[in-house]
Amino acid sequence: MSRRCELTGKGPMTGNNVSHAHNKTRRRFLPNLNDVSLMSEALERTFRLRISASALRTVDHRGGLDAFLLKARDTELSPAALKIKRDIAKARASA
């Protein structure tokens, strides 16, 4: 399971641990990922996604999973999220 947000593409970053003596050792900053179930109103079903805490706040701010995915760039989305986005667009077009 990769440490990458399925909605924003946020992944691990690297940096330094800096001691009091100013010694530097490499470290990794991991994103705060959570397994969540998000409801799609257009498809009337839930989807299990592994997303960052900041992405979850953004989904709430934009008004739900459908609004977030329709506004998101395709390059940032995982293949699973991209399929959900296409299904939502198809459902909205037919409705």
Q: Domain limits of the chain? A: 31-94
Question: What is the reported pLDDT for 14?
Answer: 98
Question: From the CB of residue 74, how many other CB atoms can be counted at a distance below 10 Å?
Answer: 10
- Non-local (6+) Cβ contacts of 87 within 8 A are 43
- Quickly tell me which residue has 């079903």 as its tokens: 45
pTM above 0.85, yes or no: yes
Question: What is the reported pLDDT for 1?
Answer: 72
Residue 37, helix vs strand vs coil: strand
What are residue 52's DSSP bridge partners? Answer: 33
- Per-residue pLDDT of the chain (95 residues), as tens digits, is 789 999 999 999 999 999 999 999 999 999 999 999 999 999 999 999 999 999 999 999 999 999 999 999 999 999 999 999 999 999 999 97
Question: What is the reported pLDDT for 8?
Answer: 96
